Structure 1
Amino acid sequence: MTPTVISPASPVELLHYMITYQRYPTTLLICSSDDEFRAAIAEELKGQIPEEQLQQEPDEFGEVIIDHPLAALPIFRRVVARHLRVLFVPSVIHLRAILSVFSQADSPIPPPPEEDSENTKQGARPRPPSLFAYGFLELHRDSSEWSAQGLSSSASMFVAAARRSGFNPVMVEPKAAGGLANFEHVLREHAPILSGGARRDEGWQGRTVEVRRVLDRWFRFQTGQWDTKWPEDNAS
């Protein structure tokens, strides 16, 4: 279970991937508030759908219904239907608190009915679940923990929490987070060595290090499915 940082994904791309490829008891830590993430999904889908197809009145769940394959049902109900656990993490403090006690046993999400029968098949070796952190760097970027010291502390806790529970740790950043154009720019972004460093107009004061070098201690880096082709695209 090699910890992995995958190339940035939009919210819809990420959830498409989760619904398509991930199963119980995979857990998704969304490093923002619930409202911020839902707003990002709605904004992304609106950009893909003609205006006349949008129903602007919220439904009973307070969501705008959009004529899109991923939005036929409210997106989080589709994720939960796959028995995936979703936790919203609005700050670095919240992230570290969750990671310090993270356990599959504490999840309120039950296994799907077919899970037990599949796992009892002789010789069955199900793929290990994953612990995803979406927006890990973005969460740290505008905080006092944006530093090699702060990122290392959170990253080590993330990897330890995943391994303690038998999960595969995976990080994914939102596309264009921090104004960065692509995966390479994300990894080449600089952070000060120590937490609490002063920022100047042209950059950070004192010594800095690339994010890639900080994360390279634990993680490998790879391109996400959303940056290649989905199976349905290959079939067309």
Structure 2
Amino acid sequence: MSAYPQPLFVSPALPTELLWHIIHHCIYPTTLLICSSRAEFLSSAATDLKQQNQNPHPKPPDDENQDHTRQGPGISTTSQLLAAPLYQVAVARHIRVLFIPTVSHLRAFLSVFSVDTAKVSAPPQPPPLQQPHTADSSSTTGPPPLLLVYGFLDLHRDTSEWSVQGLSNTTAVLIEAARRVAFQAVVVEPKTEVTTEQQLLAERMPVLSGSARRVGPDFESGGWTGRTVDVRRVLGRWFRFRQRDWKREADRSIS
């Protein structure tokens, strides 16, 4: 049986949901690769925060006698993220974050990825009550550090690498990089209102890189010349699919 952590393709997440999870559940030296520019990601996160503040959805208490004196009922994930304790902020500063603009940049970074080259130091020792979620990487019983790529499919889409060949080449480099340092490879796509997870995985791509789109009426709908394969089939060769309700996870953490 393989001793390497199983690579995961996890349900799409909003920027704030992803950041919440990393701050509360990821350990040093987790590395987050965001497949966009810093400005684009920060703009997306700011929009997400603004929308959540304008349309709050308070969580009703499960028990009318439940004690809410510490945080109060209906407190939002957004408020908790913005008002993170100083210790959580300190831990977040020790999570390595890089912004990746192209597929070529991603492959190049992964090909030489090493914990030794990181300029991010280990976090301070956590208070006893927070030990389970922020344990040092030397722990042998906790979860492994993550090599988490946010926007993996988006980075390939609308490029010559949007194909079984291109996606598989990058995935192979990602998983090899994670195994080399005993990390768990995880891919998360940005959540959108117009595309569900099932639609995302049902999207078609050509077998070979550089394939041309069909001309004529089918061009606008994304038709391709030659054989095509759905994304789920391609990713299924490498990843285990994991359903996650990011919002519910955060709500449970602050309830």
TM range (shorter): 0.7 to 0.9
The equivalent position to 2:198 in structure 1, one of 168, 184, 204, is: 184
Q: 1:43 aligned to 2:47?
A: yes
**Residue matched to 1:2:** 6
Residue 82 of structure 1 deviates from its aligned partner by: 5.3
8 Å CA contact 2:32–2:98 kept in 1: the answer is yes
Given residue 244 of structure 2, which amino acid in structure 1 is its aligned partner? G
TM-score of the superposition, structure 2-length normalised? 0.76
| Structure 2 equivalent of residue 218 of structure 1 | 238
TM-superposition CA deviations, 1:45-94 (whole Å, max 9, x none): 1112249xxxxxxxxxxxxxxx8332347xxx937635211010011011
Residue 62 of structure 1 is matched in structure 2 by: none
Assess, with a 3 A threshold, how the Cα gap between structure 1 residues 47 and 180 changes in structure 2: closer, same or farther: closer
Q: Is the 8 A contact 1:25 1:84 kept in 2?
A: yes
Percent same amino acid at aligned positions? 48
Q: What is the SS of the residue equivalent to 2:211? A: coil
Separation in structure 1 between the aligned mates of residue 46 and residue 25 of structure 2, nearest angstrom: 22
C-alpha distance in 2 between matches for 1:218 and 1:150: 14
Structure number with higher strand proportion: 1
TM-score, scaled to structure 1: 0.81
Query: Can you list the C-alpha shifts for 1:92-144, whole angstroms capped at 9, x where unaligned?
Result: 011001001001111111112328x97699x8523211100000000000211
Letter in 1 for 2:89: R
Q: Give structure 2 stretches of 5+ with no counterpart.
A: 56-77, 214-218
For residues 93 and 231 of structure 1, do their structure 2 counterparts lie closer, same or farther at Cα, with a shift above 3 Å needed?
closer
The SS at the match of 1:230 is: helix
Give the aligned CA root-mean-square deviation in angstroms.
2.7
Residues 99 and 124 of structure 1: CA distance in aligned 2, closer, same or farther (over 3 Å):
closer
Larger radius of gyration: 2
Match of 1:28 in 2: 32
Q: Does 1:171 align with 2:187?
A: yes
Q: Kindly tell me the number of residue pairs found equivalent between the two proteins.
A: 213
Letter in 2 for 1:184: Q
Look up the match of 1:71: 82
Task: State whether residues 7 and 224 of structure 1, in contact with CA within 8 Å, keep that contact through their aligned partners in structure 2.
Answer: yes
The unaligned stretches of length 5 or more in structure 1 are 52-66
Runs (4+) of structure 1 exceeding 3 A deviation are 77-82, 117-121, 231-236
1:1-236 aligned at under 5 Å gives the runs 1-50=5-54, 68-72=79-83, 78=89, 81=92, 83-114=94-125, 124-176=140-192, 181-199=195-213, 200-202=219-221, 203-226=223-246, 229-230=248-249, 232-233=251-252, 236=255
Q: 1:158, 1:124 → 2: CA distance?
A: 23
Question: Is the alpha carbon distance of 1:175 and 1:195 closer, same or farther for their aligned partners in structure 2, counting shifts above 3 Å?
Answer: same
1:135-159 CA deviation, whole Å, 9 max, x = no partner?
0000000211000000000001000
Question: Alignment partner of 2:52: what SS?
Answer: coil
For 1:100 and 1:20, the matched residues in 2 are separated by: 29
Residues 16-46 of structure 1, C-alpha deviations (whole Å, 9 max, x = no match): 1111111101110000010100000011111
